[in-house]
Structure 1
Amino acid sequence: MTDRLENERFPLLHNHSRRNSVTAEVNENDIIAYVQLRRASIVSVGTGKMPSHFALTLKMSRSSLNEGLHPVRSTTSTLGDVSEILSVHSKSLINEPHTSVGTEAKVLMRYSGPLIVTFLLQYSLTVASVFSVGRLGSVELAAVSLSSMTANISGYAIIQGVSTCLDTLCAQAFGRKDFNTVGMHFIRCTYLLMLLYIPIFVLWVFFSELILLKLVGADKQDLVAYASQYLQVLAFGIPGFIVFENLKHFLQSQGIFHASTYVLLFCAPLNALMNYVLVWDEKIGMGFIGAPLSVVITNWIMCFFLLGYTIYVNGYQCLPRQSLLHESYFRNWNRMIKLSIPGVLMVEAEWLAFEIITFTASTFGTDALAAQSIVSTTCVLLYQVPFALSIAASTRIAWYIGAAAKNASLIAAKTAMYCALVLGCLNALVLYQFRVFFASLYTSDSSVIELASQVLVIGAIYQINDFLACITGGILRGQGRQHIGGIMNLVSYYFVALPFAFLIAFHFEMKLFGLWIGMIIGLLFVSIFQTYFVVTSDWDHIILECINEGIVEDGALLIDAHSLVPAMLSNHLV
């Protein structure tokens, strides 16, 4: 009878796995106090400094609920009936953080700068291996390309896709000032990825040669042997990469965007040096195997450096207080996994689609394949700009959602889309104007330069939709609605882009041009539909879900508003 009554009174709480531990009633005052805490989250927006760590007093019993609290009304509410309380128009709530389009645009630009440098430096780690090994011979160069493709699809895409769940979980928790929960999400995600690392390790170390032989044919045993060796060595650096990637998202969720940039400013040149020493040095050089070894060493150095920065410089405020083997890290994985699956789907769908396009381009001849490599590499480099902007927008919007600030969330989302359109057009103009120059950076072959510069015209048009699709994907990620982006990417690339690409390339005989026209059509589909879902977002429902998630993280988290909120309001609200 008691359980039935509680289910009726707390419908949202009882949708979660830990609902049986909820024993306290939640009245309007508790929810308002909780919302007020969240609204204090945008305090240090211009300084980049961590606000003081509020000592939350979480009450778990019915008797403690009434101590020191002065309810706004005497009635008791359930979380299922508090949409009006959570609305930004509610007069009983404190004014939300003030912002404007200009403010948000400046913040996005400031946050995006170090992220662009970070992503470019991280991309250079792979490029360094290609350059160092490419001079050993064509077989070795092909082996690096094959092993890099295999590693991306079967390993790195999974890791990066799963880690995007932290852009939602950690950033929203930081927005509501649940600092300990920020760290708990980081540890949980790291444990999840370490579990996923086990099959990746087994695949790369014990079965890579067998699988690659099936893919490329038994007549290319030398190529497969080199590629398999590369993967076998690379497997030992994956744990370091996992910790680094998760730490990067963990710090970004706190507004610390420059830490990974500092680490990579040191590690990227170090990686290039190690590639030379371990591959080419007469005394130390190991030849081909030195390239993956330098990546492994670099991954572990990046891991320890960023971990050291977090512990001793900044970001330690959100490290969890529990020991690393505490049982709380192995509970409440449902939402993390639900956010991780579409994250992986988005990354895998895009990466694999481009690998298919590259493989198809090889059927049109050497010039077409070379031009495809030039166009795809150039677009990947330019992609770092919208990707950085999407991370900044995702973090910013998740903070506002955590702070229960609906109007601010709307302004931040609109500003991000405005920036996407402006910067997308700017990128397109630059790429179109300097297309011949970009193509000539890769080769001196006039026929390849001419073909690549012609295809880059399509690549320039591609930039506008690429920006809009990337930014709207970041907004959906900040809202915790990655599933929309995952579905859109899967449908657009495999049911729209690739069919149109093959149709135009082969039936209409437009070859490489047709492949890229198909990709533009697919990306147009993504950008339009993701924009539709962002524009029609139910922000009240999104905020309500975020509040509910915070309240049920460890049962019914009831806040001692009497001692905490007044001090917070006087010192920390903007």
Structure 2
Amino acid sequence: MERDQKSWLNSPLIHISEDEVNPKDGRLVDDNNFSRKLIAEEVKKQLWLAGPLISVSFLQYCLQMISIMFVGHLGELPLSGASMAVSFTSVTGFTVLMGMASALDTFCGQSYGAKQYHMLGIYMQRAMFVLSLVSIPLAVIWANTGEILKLLGQDAQISAEAGKYAKCLIPCLFAHGLVQCLNRFLQTQNIVFPMMMSSGIAALLHIALCWVMIFKAGLETRGAALANSISYWINALILMLYVKFSSSCSESWTGFSAQAFHNFSYFLKLAIPSTVMVCLELWSFEMVVLLSGLLPNPKLETSVLSISLNTDLTVWMIPMGLSAAASTRVSNELGAGRPAGAKLAACLVMTIAVFEGLLLGTVLILIRNVWGYAYSNEQEVVKYVADIVPIIAVSTFFDGLQCVLSGNS
């Protein structure tokens, strides 16, 4: 029995010093007496936190992914153009607004912890106003996407297709900023299931919208972008209605306030560094797609690298959710004065991340020969994707470990 209780401590992924272990029963020395049951409970807590966060991130990302899948069946050029547009708009818009909205994690989180619930609504209004203002110059950039890409040396046909797609995405930009603010507002209050519901409804409707607008209405590439914009606004409106009428937000949302239009510099002092951090992390992925347009066969290279990026980011949603759960559990244990419990939480989430990475990597390799068909009917594209998928599998494994480690730090 003693050997069984100590065996998990000898794992190369979990290192607990001997002074933290009770020599009589092999359990961690702490104000809590950690047993197998408590280890199982810790795993359950982490998965319960990570599940909704993974679902929300995945469902929201699905909107872009579904659009690209539909466009891919229109041909190689539309797929290349839409892929280029998605990368360009991500670099110049989506990640900027995501980074600025992440400042609410601190402002709303601190206010909620201090029980100053009314301040959450004020901070959210302030962020919405600032992000809406920032979206105006970003929209001007998007309106000139085709010309900008040509100036950067991209293929003229791909640039023209990307320009059409980006222009129809402009309404999506403003909705994206609102959704990011609403998500942070709810997340800091541990209200995650309404976020799942709204994201799920938007994703399901988006499939029908893409089919109608691309094939039935004959809008093709423009139809995919317009469907994206409509779906984002549906998500935003559902969340706004929930905040307005739900009793869960009665203390944190007390209506519009003039106080939200003060202290913008206070918000920007945290929002700007947060934006830089998020942008530097995500731009490295998107820049690969943009640079692929400079290769000898830009249509093929852009299409394949876009599919690879979509696959990588989709899989990355899982360790990102695990990272958020780990950060919460570790901070909870440290705040309660239980460092051994925090160490246990960190070690367990790393173990989960390793098994998750190995499982997903295996699945990707097994489906590599058919995965490309989800995006394109072109045999050349499908074969190229099959050759790259093993590299994606290795990349996502180590990227996932890095993501979880950052959540523990």
Query: TM-score over 0.5 for the alignment?
Result: yes
Match in the other structure for 1:348: 279
- 1:273 counterpart residue number: 208
Offset of residue 335 of structure 1: 4.4
Tell me: CA distance 1:238–1:463, structure 2 relative to 1, closer, same or farther (3 Å).
closer
Q: CA deviation at 1:279?
A: 1.0
Aligned match of 1:223: 158
Aligned length: 366
Secondary structure, counterpart of 1:197 in structure 2: helix
Structure-2 residue corresponding to 1:443: 372
Mapping of residues 320-331 of structure 1, within 5 Å: 320-321=253-254, 323-324=256-257, 326=258, 328-331=259-262
CA distances 1:101-152 after superposition (whole Å, capped 9, x unpaired) = 7565433321211221222211111112112222223221111011101110
- Alignment of 1:289 with 2:222, yes or no, is yes
2:179 is aligned with what amino acid? F
CA shift, 1:161, in A, is 0.9
1:390 positional shift: 3.0
Paired residue type of 1:210: E
Residue equivalent to 2:199: 264
Q: Please give the per-residue CA displacement for 1:175-207, whole angstroms capped at 9, x wherever unaligned.
A: 1211011222111111111121111122222x3
Structure having the higher Rg? 1
Structure 2 distance, partners of 1:432, 1:288, is 32
Find the aligned partners of 2:33 and 2:172 in 1 and give their Cα distance: 43
Alignment partners' CA distance in 2, 1:322 and 1:267:
26
For the residues of structure 2 that align with 1:226 and 1:470, how far apart are their CA atoms?
A: 38
Q: CA deviation at 1:252?
A: 0.8
- Provide Cα deviations, 1:206-261, integer angstroms capped at 9, x if missing partner: x33321221234x61x4323322222221123222221221111111101111111
CA distance in 1, matches of 2:292, 2:352: 29
Partner of 1:300: 233
Is 1:152 the equivalent of 2:83? no
1:434 matched to 2:363? The reply is yes
C-alpha separation in 2, matches of 1:338 and 1:214: 33
| Structure 1 contact 358–369 (Cα < 8 Å) conserved | yes
**What amino acid maps onto 2:285 in structure 1?**
F
Cα shift at 1:470:
4.0
Matched residues in 1 for 2:361 and 2:71: separation?
A: 32
The aligned counterpart of 1:455 is 391
Tell me if structure 2 keeps the 8 A contact 1:190–1:242: yes
Q: Is the counterpart of residue 255 in structure 1 residue 197 in structure 2?
A: no
What is the CA–CA distance in structure 2 between the aligned matches of 1:129 and 1:374, rounded to whole Å?
Answer: 12
431, 450, 468: which one aligns with 2:404: 468
The correspondence for 2:148, drawn from 195, 201, 211, is 211
1:196 aligns with 2:196: no
Q: Which amino acid aligns with 1:345?
A: V
Give the superposition deviation at 1:360.
Answer: 6.0
- 2:345 is the counterpart of 1:407: no
1:245 equivalenced with 2:180 (yes/no): yes
Q: Secondary structure at the match of 2:254?
A: coil
**Structure 1: distance between partners of 2:291 and 2:77:** 20
| Aligned twin of 1:422 | 351
CA contact under 8 A between 1:179 and 1:319: conserved in structure 2?
A: yes
2:169–2:225 CA contact under 8 A, matched in 1: yes
- Contact 1:165/1:339 (CA < 8 Å) preserved in 2? yes
The one-letter amino acid of 1:291's match is A
Aligned mates of 1:393, 1:273 — CA distance in 2: 36
* 2:273 is equivalent to residue 336 of structure 1: no
Structure 2 vs 1, CA of residues 348 and 438 (structure 1 numbering), >3 Å: closer, same or farther? farther
Distance 1:190 1:381, change over 3 A: same
Q: Distance in 2 between matches of 1:105 and 1:196?
A: 41
Matched with 1:565 is: none
Distance 1:434 1:322, change over 3 A: closer
> Any stretches of 5+ residues in structure 1 without a counterpart?
1-96, 473-533, 535-574
AA partner of residue 208 (structure 1): T
The normalised TM-score by structure 1 is: 0.57
Q: Is the 8 A contact 1:254 1:315 kept in 2?
A: no
C-alpha separation in 2, matches of 1:99 and 1:329:
47
Instruction: Provide Cα deviations, 1:379-406, integer angstroms capped at 9, x if missing partner.
Output: 32221112123334455677889xxx45
2:115 pairs with 168, 172, 177, which one?
177
Say yes or no: does 1:384 pair with 2:320.
no
Which letter maps to 2:142?
W
**Residues 187/108 of structure 1: CA separation in 2 closer, same or farther (3 Å cut):** farther
CA–CA distance in structure 2, aligned partners of residues 259 and 211 of structure 1: 39
Match of 1:442, SS state, is: helix
RMSD of aligned Cα (Å):
3.2
1:427 alignment partner AA: E
SS at match of 1:434: helix
Write the distance in 1 (CA, Å) between the matches of 2:33 and 2:149.
54
Give me the TM-score of the superposition, normalised by structure 2. Answer: 0.78
Check whether the contact 2:319–2:401 (CA below 8 A) recurs between aligned residues: no
Distance in 2 between the 1:274 and 1:138 partners? 22
Higher helix share goes to which structure? 2
CA contact (8 A) 1:420 1:471 kept: no
CA contact (8 A) 1:233 1:292 kept: yes
Find the aligned partners of 1:133 and 1:141 in 2 and give their Cα distance: 6
The answer as to whether partners of 1:183 and 1:320 remain within 8 angstroms in 2 is: yes
Distance 2:292 2:89 in 1: 21
